[in-house]
Structure formats: structure tokens, C-alpha cells
A and B are shown apart, each in its own frame.
Chain A
């Protein structure tokens, strides 16, 4: 009997251990990364437009990749000290837990189950993913309210289906869903006129409209069907590493708020506009010590990767083929929901 109890206890301990194998101690991840000399960050198994794609020479680029670069630069002062590990959607959490990657930056939302059941921890949101609806222009829709009785293309096997149904019910209209699994097929169906509208994750929608080459013939309706805050995700338990992620993002946002770009960062560092700016750029001490980073880490990030606005415009916005609006993913003083933490 005693033996059996011991066996059961050992098994239980083993299971708990197996379920959360990498309960990281504070500061451990940063030490590991520094010792390795390179940050392992998530890429994609193929291409995820705008966020992680491959240029003609096989180098990674995109919104998520640039944030990986920012974290690598914060730690090492050099964006080249980054190893992008190609990873499928299904592989994200096991790879993080097993230590294959140090941080997941992969257009992934912060959810209850990821937070509580999978043993993960989030940074602040770096992107507001909104579910939106695109419609053919000749239908003259002002908002989804006008679309009563219309047909709508929806990706199968996603939460978007429920979100659209709930939203339609809320505004009191009836829609006729056309549910299709594969994105290429789904878009084909919409562009060939099988559906009046097309509901999709905002960036994917905007990119589809641009890729079709006929931006003027389709409008993206102002209705926000649902919001998913995309976050950087790390292992539970390493508070220091969460801080590094949060403050990297915060530095990017603060730099944008203060008008510090990769081009003028040197001038501003020489003549800081405020004590907080001086601290941010390492002209005054104190920015790095508590994080375990050098004092000029934020200066390096802004100098070598750019501020948040530069990263966005380069990958998704005006300088990219996708020409996306900042929308909610903007600073608080520009009509968005992003904000930096306070540097005191």
C-alpha cells in the first residue's frame, strides 16, 4: 500500500513536472540568452504576410521579426544577434516551454487559457488585431448595419464565425454566412462576387485588398467586430524577462511619443529634451541596471531598429506594399490605444 502511494506521488510529481517543465526562475532567461550569445525568436513555417516573411535573399523581415530584433538589440546592442527559428502555429507553446525559443512574437493574442493553463506570461499588447469586414464598393455600405440580408465570406474553424454572428445579432441584422477553410479559396470567393462581404482578421483583410491590386473597389467597413490584443509571450516565472519585453516595447513607444527616431536619436541624446528622455537614451544613468542590461540599451534599439512608428510603417504601413492604417494600433494621443510606461 505504501509502495503504491509512493508510486502515485512520484507519478503526480512527474506529471506536474512534465506539464510545466520550464518554470523559469527570475533572470534565468536573460542569463541563458547572454551565455548563448544570440536570441532565439519565433519565425514562421513559410510566410505570414507583413509579420514574418522572407525577402529575395532569404532574410526574415516583418513586424514580428523587427520586434524580435528590438529585443535582441536590447540585450546585445546588435540586431544581428538574433536567430529566427521557423515555427508552425501548433509548435509555438511547446517550443517556448522546451527552450527552443526564448520569446514568442508571432501575432498571438493574450487569452485566459494561455495565461492560466499553459503557464505563459504576456507583455503589454504591441498590436491591436481587430476583426473587420470588407465589402464591394458598389454596394454602397456605410456600416455593417446597412448589410441586412447580405452574404458574408468567413474563414472556417476560427472564432470569427461566432464573432460575426454575435455582432450581427447585436446590431439587429441577418447575414448569410459562406464558410470556407482555405484563405486563398476564401478570398477568391469574395473577389469573384460569391459573397457581398468578407470578414477576417484586420491585417489579413487589408493585405488581401492590396494584393488584389484594386484598392478602390473595396471598402473596409468601420465596424470593429472583435479585438484581439497581440502580445509577446514568455515562460511563466521569469519576471525579469517579462520586464525586458515590456520595457523594450515601452521604449519603442516612448521614443515615438517623444519624436525620437533612428535618424535624430544622436542629436537628441546629445541634447535631451527632458530628464526622462535623457534616462531613456542613456545620457543619464539608471535605464539598464534594474533590467540587467546596459544603460544605453534603449538608445541602441532606437538607433538600430527604429521607434515603434518606424517599425510599423516599414512593415505594414506607408513604406510597405500593404499601406495599412495605424487604426487602433496607434499612440494614445493619435487616437490609438498604445501607451508607454512612465520612465521616472
Chain B
């Protein structure tokens, strides 16, 4: 019989526990408390309910959940929360993770396979987590003759650029956006311009044939599809007269722009597929021709970072499509109001009544906006994933032909439609609608 700890004695176990506690207390008093006290001189403590939130006060709130609500409320309105959690990185990464799982499962169903099945017992729900752990624990192999600084920097830069793209996306009215730039749409295009640079640099730095071919293909594809991408959006800018993404959404509370500019929306969607290297435009990663394209030499977490970046980019593009053509977060009010009796009476649990003053943490409008925004983005992501089960990969000369001739021409047609709508007095400033 095998035992986990053959020489186990309960007294030794107790001794080790008390020893650890002793050293923890000693170290905390000698270094931890002086460190915190020094830090407090430089920290700017928040003022909540006209009281300075000192660490002592913050600790006392642990005893009373009702007093934590103002604390959480003030946290919800900090820049840190915006960048790390809600409209920023956390929200986008969550949607990206969901996208990866749905893509694998849905693709499998389309091709009459099972897909992820065993991990997590129920339909392979935890497959993504196990993939993440696998990627984290794998060795990072760098080719011997690679250009090491660029090769290391490329995945990090890719994720950083995708996160910068995400930070420009507004998710609800009332300033739920990381960077509310006045020239938001231009900033988006400035950031998109970095992707080909990073791709081609990482492809070159691997010093290998397949990545280089993939990188050159990616460069051709991204540079040539950026032009129809920008031109197809000009119609929206002409009709709204602003480059701010929040204002573009606010201009669609009555009519979505896809109703007036379906051609622009189609051009934007196709150019978006090409920018995202999705099937049928996945030539840079064509696995049956050039192994994995520009990702061939990446291994371990470097590959994981590139994947994370590309799915963040997918979310950001889908959200941009929603904002520009599908009315962003506008939609009917379906979110139920917060129950009145909890605000007035508190939660009654048998003999105890718990009062939570200031309870609705987020107002109904914001939650409703987020619901519609998430639903629309999920719909657009679904339509981005769908071609993968249907279409074959197209040839590079046909791809460039589509980009340079057909899409640019259609984008100009869209601009003329927008101009006609403005000059006929239908839409725009002083229009009928």
C-alpha cells in the first residue's frame, strides 16, 4: 500500500503549522507593516461618502456587506476598472474565450464531428482552460538563427496592439469606454495599420521559409484590404459628421446605418474578414500549404499570446461593425427594473432583514445597453465564424483582385449613396428623417 506521507506524525504537522504562522507574523511586523505605512504616504486615498477611505475603514467594511456597496460603486467608476475589466481587456477576453469555444464546437457540428467532448465532462466546456494550461506549460522554442529581440517582442506587441484597438470600443452610453477619443475612428485605423508591421516583422525574424511566405501574404492582404475598409466607413462619417464612436452610435437611435448603406456594410464585412485572416481569406495561415504561415515557429505561450491577440482583434472588429452599422447598444428596454422592495425594505431572510442602501450598483439603462451590445456583437461574431464551415480558401491573385477592383469600386458606390442621401435632404443635418 502506498502512502502519500509515510513518516507522518500529527505533532510534526502541528509544529510545521505553528512555525509557519510564527514566521509569517514576524515577517509581517518587521517588513510588511513598515512597507504599507511608507506606501500610504504616497497613495492618494479615495474619498467615499465624504469619508477618507483609510485601510482601517476598508477593513471594517468586511464585517458589514452593506457598507461595501459604496466602495464597489466607486471602484466601478475608476479608470483601472475600465481598462482591466468592463469595456476593456477583461470583457473582451471573456468574449474572445467564448468565441474560441463556440467556434470549435460549432465547426465540429457543421462538419458532423463531435468537437471538444471530454474536458469538463459536459460537452468539453473546460477544453479552453486545458488548452491554456497546456500552452503555459509548454517549452518556448526559438529557432537558432532567429532574430531574437524581434521574435520575442512580436507576440507581446500583437496583443498590445489588439488591446489598444479594444480600448477604443464604447460598450454602453454614459462613458463606458476606455478612451473616448474625439477622432476615435481615425485612431482605430491608425492602430489597424500596426498589424501588418508586426506580422511581417515576426515572420522575417523567425528566419524560416514558411513564416516568411505567410508574412508576405499577410502584408499583401492587410495592406490591400485596409483601403476598402476605410472607404466603406466614409459613408457613415459623411452622414453623422463625426469621428467619435460614441456619437456615431447616438446618431443611430432611430435608424441603423445598415438600412441606408447595405453596400458599405457588406464591403466592410468582407474587408474585415480579410483583415482578420479568417476563412476564406486565411492565406497567411494556410495550413495545407505553408504549415501554419507566419505562426509556424511560435511555440508555447508565444503562440497562445498571438491567438489571444487575434481573437481580441476579432471581438474588436465585430464590435466596430456593430457600432458603425448595427446601432451599437441601441435597442428596446427589456432589462427588468431593480426590485423596489429590496431598495426600500431590504432582503428579508426569515427573522433577519438585511438592508443594503444604495443598492442598484449599475442602473437599468446601462445593463440594457450592455445586453443589446453583447447580443449584437455575438451575432456579428457568429457571421464571422460561419464562412469557416462553408467556403474554401481562395487564391491570392483572386484575393487581391477582389480587394483592389471590386471592393474599392463598391465602397465608392456607397460613398455616392451617402452623398446623395445628404444632398437630397433625407438624412444628415436638417434632413427629413
Q: Do these two chains interact?
A: no
